Structure 1
Amino acid sequence: MNRSELGAALRALRQASGQEAKAVARGAVMSTSKLSKIENGRTAPGVVDVERILTALGVSEEVTAEYLAAARAEATEAVAWRLYRRLGYHRKQQQIKALDHSMTLLRLFQPSLIPGLLQTPEYVRAVLSRKELSDDQLVRTVAARLDRQSVLYDPAKTLRFIVTEPVLRWLLVPPPVMAGQLDRLISLSRLPNVDIRVVTLTAPQDDVPGHSFVIRDDRMVTVETLHAELSVTDPRDVALYVGKFERFTSAALAADAMRDFLSALRDEFLREQETGWPAHTPSPNPGHDSE
């Protein structure tokens, strides 16, 4: 099966399962019209689309592997942020939740923002407020992101995060609120399936941060750029990101040393609250959602 045959093959799978298109679309977190376009060959499905459809259908691992191999014939896909805006950012969060549900290992490297799964409600709102959403859209998107954080408490998942020190000093929120965000990182780092590490500015390095990326298992990497989100599935390319993540893992603070570092920085922010916080309006930016 080649990539051009995927739509018809997915339709045949759905019909064989006896499920209606509406139910499968709902399970795959996509519109019924999008599923119809995929099944009829009018829209080329991406790897993420195929994986969500197969999960909704409940097919075997062997069938999943075969269909994903065909979907990965194009090793890198890009989806412009403007398309996610049209879809609705809360729907995007639901799609990511579906991906998180199907993985067992997440590795996230972030040199720009606190990772979405670790953000406090105040930090989430500060990040998403840059997107010029309506009040209703903002409320729905914040709620959808916070809902995703339930994966942190799933013992079947292993979640590894690396952030660089500037992320912890970047004041998207007032210092007291940032202190609360650091407290949350300290608390979450004690969960048995969560590993949070910090690359400090003073630590010797043999690599450079570059950009953020997320690795799910060893099968897909998601990269956020200013204009689009990239999905990388070629095993050779995925291995490059795994290697970079592991290099920073060995150079980062972990466990008690990391928590001591965060505690000291938190105390700095708490001392700053006496100096006041200047009024600030974040500039709109359609990209860098930090998942």
Structure 2
Amino acid sequence: MARSALMSPSKLSKIENAKLAPSVTDVERILTAIGVSDEVKAEYTEAARASATEATAWRLLKRIGVHKGQQAAKALEAQLSTLRLFQPALVPGLLQTPEYIRAVLRRHNLSEDALTRTINGRLERQAVLYDSTKSLQFVITEPVLRWRIIPPQMMAAQLDRIASISRLPHVDIRVVPLTIQQHDIANHAFVIRDDHMVTIETVHAEVVVTDPRDVWTVRR
């Protein structure tokens, strides 16, 4: 069951014993694994959505292990067929070089072991870039390419990686130039997965939205 639901046996056990509240994604995976009817799946998924919007504070993620967040993201990316990502401040994680990842993670004050495991986890996620069955669309702003997050030579390598990945036929990378007048303000980075889940990164937490009405609002 745990394998089919893409989660560890210990996590499934905690959910079964009411020691851990399942997320909407957890509920969807479990219902899919046990093969319930579409009607039952819709009923329980809607109940999970109605309970609350999910928000995981960065401090909580740090306590349970930042690398586990990479594992969860990898599982989601393995299932999706279309990913749309907007990032106004940093190079998207799937496009980052090891040096850039290390620089970004420094702000979390991780131990060297945790840092290494998280970097490796993010690099493992990047294998999805070469899955031609998926459509991966990235929109970043021009300042992302100009921030001095890492030394110039390393940033040149980072830009070269972005250019290389952009040549893959199923990957679309676009840059919003500073010279274009903007008609709206993008406050946060967000990811849309298959039109049914939006992950929004704020200063203090990661918010997961699954209500179709809210997903549509973000898409607009």
TM-score normalised to structure 1 length:
0.70
User: 1:112 maps to what in 2?
Assistant: 89
Secondary structure at the counterpart of residue 69 of structure 2: helix
Residue 155 of structure 1 is aligned with which of 132, 136, 153? 132
Residue 196 of structure 1 is aligned with which of 173, 188, 194? 173
What do the CA deviations read for 1:196-255 (whole angstroms, capped 9, x no partner)? 000011012221121100010111110111221101111111111111xxxxxxxxxxxx
Q: Find runs of 4+ consecutive structure 1 residues off by over 6 angstroms.
A: none
Question: Which stretch of the first structure deviates more once superposed, 199-208 or 73-82?
Answer: 73-82
Unaligned runs of 5+ in 1: 1-18, 244-291
| Partners of 2:200 and 2:207 within 8 A in 1 | yes
Secondary structure at the counterpart of residue 182 of structure 2: coil
Aligned letter for 2:6? A
Aligned letter for 2:199? T
User: 1:283 maps to what in 2?
Assistant: none
What do the CA deviations read for 1:49-76 (whole angstroms, capped 9, x no partner)? 2244456x37478365554333222352
Residue 139 of structure 1 is aligned with which of 116, 139, 142? 116
| Partners of 2:81 and 2:194 within 8 A in 1 | yes
User: 2:21 maps to what in 1?
Assistant: 44
**Does residue 90 in structure 1 map to residue 50 in structure 2?**
no
User: 1:169 maps to what in 2?
Assistant: 146
Question: Percent of aligned pairs with the same residue?
Answer: 60
| Partners of 2:135 and 2:171 within 8 A in 1 | yes
Count of residue pairs the alignment pairs up: 219
Secondary structure at the counterpart of residue 50 of structure 2: coil
Residue 54 of structure 2 is aligned with which of 77, 88, 96? 77
Aligned letter for 2:69? K
- What is the distance in 2 between the residues matched to 1:195 and 1:60? 36
How far does residue 138 in structure 1 lie from its aligned partner after superposition?
0.9
* CA separation of 1:111 and 1:42: change in aligned 2, threshold 3 A: same
Secondary structure at the counterpart of residue 231 of structure 1: strand
How far does residue 181 in structure 1 lie from its aligned partner after superposition?
0.6
Question: Which protein shows a greater Rg?
Answer: 1
Secondary structure at the counterpart of residue 173 of structure 1: coil
Secondary structure at the counterpart of residue 201 of structure 1: coil
Residue 228 of structure 1 is aligned with which of 200, 205, 220? 205
User: 1:218 maps to what in 2?
Assistant: 195
How far does residue 31 in structure 1 lie from its aligned partner after superposition?
6.1
* CA separation of 1:58 and 1:122: change in aligned 2, threshold 3 A: farther
- What is the distance in 2 between the residues matched to 1:31 and 1:170? 42
More strand by share: 2
TM-score normalised to structure 2 length:
0.91
Q: CA RMSD of the aligned region, Å?
A: 2.1
User: 2:6 maps to what in 1?
Assistant: 28
